[in-house]
Amino acid sequence: MDILPSEQQQQKGEGNETPQSSLEHAITDLSLTSQQQDGDDDDPANAKGEVSKKKKKKSKSKKKKEAPKQTDPPSIPILDLFPSGDFPEGQTQHYKDDNLWRTTSEEKRELERLQKPIYNSVRRAAEVHRQVRKYMKGIIKPGMLMTDLCETLENTVRKLISEDGLQAGIAFPTGCSLNWVAAHWTPNSGDKTVLQYDDVMKLDFGTHVDGYIVDCAFTVAFNPVFDPLLEASREATNTGIKEAGIDVRLCDVGAAIQEVMESYEVEINGKVYQVKSIRNLNGHSVGRYQIHAGKSVPIVKGGEQIKMEEGEFFAIETFASTGKGYVREDLECSHYMKNFDVGHIPLRLPRAKQLLATINKNFSTLAFCRRYLDRIGETKYLMALKNLCDSGIVQPYPPLCDVKGSYVSQFEHTILLRPTCKEVISKGDDY
């Protein structure tokens, strides 16, 4: 269409041109016009520029896509998923009443900035816990051998936390106590216990980085009849977290927990049970390389008047029971822990000395179980272990059981009383 005006101009201005030459001019003009209309698209330099721009854009998008994502099953260490070295913060809650001023205090914020390396360590451990429990929730099913369940969980923790001796790893044995067993049960080697559809399993495991421990637990039940029992302990734990804070008396936390816990009832096989708090089980303060650091957080009223303090870590845990609401030691022992404050105690048995050296090297004051000793190559150690227990160097922690035939559920989170706010370190999307 652009050819018609140019042809007319050429015929007027150069009448002596032959039709052939006029046609050639027209073709040339058409070529030029189309180039002008297309702008610089056909220019080689421009074309290269466009290509390079596109390449740059592509490479940028590739970099974004290449950000590491966790695999299924999880295998990428948390350090690789967060190359900046900053790990996700837990859920934060403001302090109440007389401590509300802390939220905006510049002095308290500065204190937190100084504590950032500690926060980062415990948040790394918490992120490992979240990812491991998410994976385990997807694979736990009736018919699993309890030993396989525990070893799968523990090996996943070891990978994700980049296990490094006493610098990072598992904080204590995986508790997978069933039904009326409330706590401190894990299978010893050779145990053939299988998870059943009607079981209520408390899955309590811990992670640590630089000795900063995340102690966190949840309950697995396949039969929906147990849902109210699980909800009782979950809501009681949330209440305990909500009530906890700087200068709060431990007894007040316990009273609030019991009130929520005992507002639930559960019907099992046609019989209605009033849900009870297990009165001789508690939450606890957590220290560095010390799972029980001295303070107990009761789950019934009437506890100690001692106050929570700034900078302390607490494991807020509750146990809901259809039984007597009281536990006793029973069954074969699997959990052990070297006493935190034990001094030098002379040992006569060479095998006990050797076992103690192994415990110091691999666990220090972190809890361990017989499977862990088997894993690092210890054999025929039961007599030596008993000697260490009898001498007071190592403390045995047998399973804690309510009355046989009852059911117990548990939920637990680790919280940190930061100077400006309360951080529920182990909080996740699941609970």
**Are residues 361 and 302 part of one domain?**
no
- Residues 351, 280 share a domain: no
How is residue 99 written in tokens? 């401590």
Q: How many CB atoms lie within 10 A of CB 213?
A: 24
| Catalytic residue status for 215 | yes
Catalytically annotated residue among 127, 199, 412, 423:
412
* pLDDT at res. 303: 84
Per-residue confidence (pLDDT) for residue 66, from 0 to 100: 65
96 and 159 fall within a common domain: yes
> Residues 368, 417: one domain?
no
Same domain, yes or no: 306 and 196: yes
Sheet with 400-401: list strands edge to edge. Answer: 181-183, 400-401, 328-329
Q: Is the dihedral of CA 71, 72, 76, 81 positive or negative?
A: positive
Q: Is 12 domain-assigned?
A: no
Q: Which of 284, 335, 413, 423 is catalytic?
A: 284
Give Cα 142 to chain centroid, integer Å: 24
400 SS3 class: strand
Q: Is residue 248 part of a domain?
A: yes
Residue 149 domain-assigned (yes or no): yes
Residue 104 CA to residue 94 CA, distance in Å, equals 11
Q: Are 204 and 175 in contact (CB under 8 A)?
A: yes
Q: Is residue 236 part of a domain?
A: yes
Give tens-digit pLDDT for 377-409: 999 999 999 999 999 999 999 999 999 999 999
pLDDT of residue 65: 52
Residue 96 lies in a domain: yes
247 in a labelled binding site:
no
For residue 331, which of 187, 230, 147 has the smallest C-alpha distance?
187
- Is 184 annotated as a binding-site member? yes
Instruction: For residues 256 and 298, state if they share a domain.
Output: yes
Q: Are residues 340 and 252 in the same domain?
A: no
Q: Per the annotation, does 41 bind a ligand?
A: no
H/E element, 263: none
Q: 208 and 164 in one domain?
A: yes
What is the per-residue DSSP string for 235-248? HHHHHHHHH--TT-
Burial class, 154, CB count within 10 angstroms (exposed 0-12 / middle 13-18 / buried 19+):
buried
The pLDDT, as a whole number, for residue 68 is 85
Clarify whether 204 is annotated catalytic: yes
The answer to whether the annotation marks 129 as part of a ligand binding site is no
292 labelled catalytic: yes
Q: Angle 237-240-246 (CA atoms, 0-180°, nearest 5)?
A: 145
Instruction: Judge whether 284 counts as a catalytic residue.
Output: yes
Residue 66 domain-assigned (yes or no): no
For the entire predicted model, the pTM comes to 0.84
Name the phi and psi angles at 170, rounded to 5. Answer: -80, 135
Q: What is the pLDDT of residue 13?
A: 41
- The CA distance from 424 to 428, in Å, is 9
> Cα–Cα distance between 314 and 286 in angstroms, integer?
5
Same domain, 411 and 372: no
- Catalytic residue, from 215, 243, 312, 402: name it: 215
Catalytic residue among 231, 292, 304, 378: 292
Q: What whole-number percentage of the chain has pLDDT above 70?
A: 84
Tens-level pLDDT at each residue, the chain (431 residues):
443 334 443 433 444 444 344 434 444 444 444 444 444 444 444 444 444 444 455 554 444 556 689 999 999 999 999 999 999 999 999 999 899 999 999 999 999 999 999 999 999 999 999 999 999 999 999 999 999 999 999 999 999 999 999 999 999 999 999 999 999 999 999 999 999 999 999 999 999 999 999 999 999 999 999 999 999 999 999 999 999 999 999 999 999 999 999 999 999 999 999 999 999 999 999 999 999 999 999 999 998 899 999 999 999 999 999 999 999 999 999 999 999 999 999 999 999 999 999 999 999 999 999 999 999 999 999 999 999 999 999 999 999 999 999 999 999 999 999 999 999 999 999 99
Domain of 110 in residue numbering reads as 91-327+405-424
14 is in an annotated binding site: no
The predicted pLDDT at position 77 comes to 97
* CATH value at residue 419: 3.90.230.10
The C-alpha torsion from 231 through 421 and 255 to 97, rounded to 10°, is -130
Does residue 240 sit in the same domain as residue 347?
A: no
Taking Cα atoms as reference points, which of 77, 407, 5, 413 lies closest to residue 220? 407
Residue identified by tokens 């006029």 is 22
Residues 365 and 306 in one domain: no
Instruction: Output the six-digit token pair for 312.
Output: 């302390």
Same-domain check for residues 143 and 175: yes
- Please tell me which residue in 204, 235, 312, 423 is annotated as part of the active site: 204
Number of independent structural domains in the chain: 2
* Cβ contacts of 51-56, under 8 Å, gap ≥ 24: none
**DSSP letter assigned to residue 184:** -
In a domain, 298, yes or no: yes
Query: Is position 431 within any domain?
Result: no
**341 is known to lie in a ligand binding site:** no
Cα atoms in the 13 Å half-sphere on the side-chain side of 253? 31
231 is in an annotated binding site: no
Q: Among residues 154, 252, 317, 402, which one is catalytic?
A: 317
The CATH number of residue 358's host domain is 1.10.10.10
Residue 292 region by backbone torsions, left for phi larger than 0, else alpha for psi between -120 and 50, else beta: beta
Sign of the CA dihedral with 43 first, then 45, 46, and 47 last: positive
C-beta of residue 208 within 8 angstroms of C-beta of residue 425: no
25 is catalytic: no
